[in-house]
Amino acid sequence: MPSELRKQRDQERTEKRRLSLLESASRVFARQGYHRTLISDIVNDAGVGQGTFYRHFKDKRQIFEALFELLLQKVAAQFQDMESRPPQSAEEFRSASRDAYRRMAQVLDQNRDLASLLLREGRTIDAEFQRTVEGVFLEFAQLAQSFLDLGVARGFARPMRTDIVAQAIVGLVIALADSWWAGRFPGVDIDTLVDESVALAFDGMIAIPNTAQPS
């Protein structure tokens, strides 16, 4: 009895089906938004029967949740191999920041539909999901804050309310991602976006008098 083989093959097929549903859901959510999407839209897009959906997910919320976790995994993977040595100089501080920023930009852009969807609708599902999403935002903010604290402690950054600035930075990233996806920066590449953001965050907007008046 090749039941072992059978079992494995079945499992693989099941997993494939699940992924195909996730892809369809992502596509349809991106097109119509979470709330205007029916289960039937998803299964039609996936080309499977109505009942098949319920074999893999409890309801619309759960497939959305699964998409959310998928994105989190990808984000985590992107930062997996990131150097963790604390910066030794102002220059290293800045380059580490730029690196983190660039990685975030990349993972967001590589998962554009998913990320855009989750950023836009994640907090409109229900109270619990709202908390989940805000928890993730907060985690990022806290990561940023501890990095800022380090910079302040070592004198690479000026004294500041790092809690406030960290949240501002996260908001800035999200806002720019959103604008970028909305096509409001025609002709701008990601590197420019990153460079401008980092420049703003580090140097601010103010004209630098030193450089301008060398004499």
Residue of 134, 139, 189, 191 that binds its own copies (CB under 8 A):
134
**Does residue 161 belong to the site contacting its own copies (CB under 8 A)?**
yes
Query: Which lies closer to its own copies via its Cβ, residue 19 or residue 49?
Result: 49
**Does residue 31 belong to the site contacting DNA (CB under 7 A)?**
no
Total site size for DNA, rule CB under 7 A: 21
Q: Taking the mean position of all CA atoms in its chain, how far away is CA 74? A: 8
Query: Which lies closer to its own copies via its Cβ, residue 73 or residue 89?
Result: 89
177, two tokens: 């991602």
Residue of 39, 143, 152, 190 that binds DNA (CB under 7 A):
39
Cβ neighbors of 14 (< 8 A, separation 6 or more) are 56
Residue of 34, 53, 68, 101 that binds its own copies (CB under 8 A):
34
At position 154, the amino acid (one-letter code) is: R
Let me know: does 55 contact 76? Beta carbons within 8 Å.
no
208 binds, among DNA, its own copies, none (CB under 5 to 8 A by kind): its own copies
Question: In this chain, which stretch among 15-23, 49-57, 59-67, 177-185 interacts with its own copies, using CB under 8 A?
Answer: 177-185
Let me know: does 119 contact 177? Beta carbons within 8 Å.
yes
**Does residue 175 belong to the site contacting its own copies (CB under 8 A)?**
yes
192, two tokens: 């420019």
Rounded to an integer, what distance in angstroms lies between the CA atom of residue 189 and that of residue 110?
Answer: 14
